[in-house]
Amino acid sequence: MKKRTLGSGNLEVSALGLGCMGMSFGLGPAADKNEAIALIRTAVERGVTFFDTAEVYGPYTNEELVGEALAPFRGQVAIATKFGFKLDPRTGAQAGLDSRPEHVKEVAEASLRRLRVETIDLFYQHRVDPNVPIEDVAGAVKELIREGKVRHFGLSEAGVQTIRRAHAVQPVTALQSEYSLWWREPEAEVLPTLEELGIGFVPFSPLGKGFLTGKIDENTTFDKTDFRNVVPRFTPEARKANLAFVDMLRRIAEGKGATPAQIALAWLLARKPWIVPIPGTRKLDRLDENLGAVDLHLTPADLREIDESSSSITLQGARYPEHLQKLVGR
């Protein structure tokens, strides 16, 4: 497995990570625990050293799953988790944002226990909290780093001014935000800022929440607990229109002896050497398919064709419902 380095903090990880959220949360009923543990451990055997979770995935159950699965591999892998939501103590439901320094430290202690580690490798602010100055948030993580409880500081879905202000207090190792062939907004301001500051980029939903695999069309039905049911981009009408992206990927994939998902991931890997996508899956064959993208070489002509073809496609549907869109890009 090829390695990549995130940020000037020199966090070296596998070129492709594994997003673990969907094993417990957001994409239908939780996966069978033993099967999920087996998949995570197989990923390690395949060379994956970067795993992504968060306290709100479940809530809590995904961190516990990742902690148990990776317990035999301490020191060999990097685990990223996140803070920043307020959770109802009775139900665990999200009840707004909370990045007050004292809460950040409470979350760190709880995550350390669930992950069964002494240090969190990468600790992201999950969403920017407008009620807490980012300097205070960065300062809290700086203290956790000084205490040896966190190694690296990250941000998720933050805007460029927030990134700059946070980085001035505690160097940011990585930004995690959505980025894929059908969501390229980070290219306008975010990617140039990260390059300037020496911050790595971790794209989540690099396969468009599964759409760019080519396995979803307008007739696909999702479980009632699947987050995609409320995403405007996943209405049947939008899916039907957006299949143009999949058709384009499939055409290029056929010429390379690859799959649409592999082309989508290889495209991201070709953008910058400090980009590490974290596709999620519950299936071994999909894990192997995704990992195959690491060794797939796209020529300059391939990349030009992808850019030219995708630029002529008009994407249908917003990536988030309005109430969630307000939480990003602050």
Instruction: Give catalytic residue positions.
Output: 57
Beta strands (DSSP E) in the chain are 3-6, 11-14, 18-19, 50-52, 78-83, 85-87, 94-97, 120-125, 150-156, 172-178, 200-204
Residue reference for tokens 């009408």: 237
Smallest CA-to-CA distance from 135 within 117, 116, 161 is with 161
Length of the chain equals 330
| Inter-residue contact 61 to 23 (CB < 8 Å) | no
CA 327/CA 330 separation, integer angstroms? 7
- Please give the C-alpha separations between residue 213 and each of 92, 164, 219, 221, 264, in angstroms, as whole numbers: 32, 35, 15, 16, 8
Biggest CA–CA distance in the chain, Å, is 55
What's the number of CA atoms in the CB half-sphere (13 Å) around residue 53?
28
- For the CA atoms of the chain, what is the radius of gyration? 19
- 217 contacts 198 by C-beta, under 8 angstroms: no
Q: How far is CA 78 from the centre of its chain?
A: 14
Helix and strand totals (H; E) in the chain: 11, 11
Dist. CA 187–CA 199, nearest whole Å: 14
- Angle CA(326)–CA(327)–CA(330) in degrees, nearest 5? 95
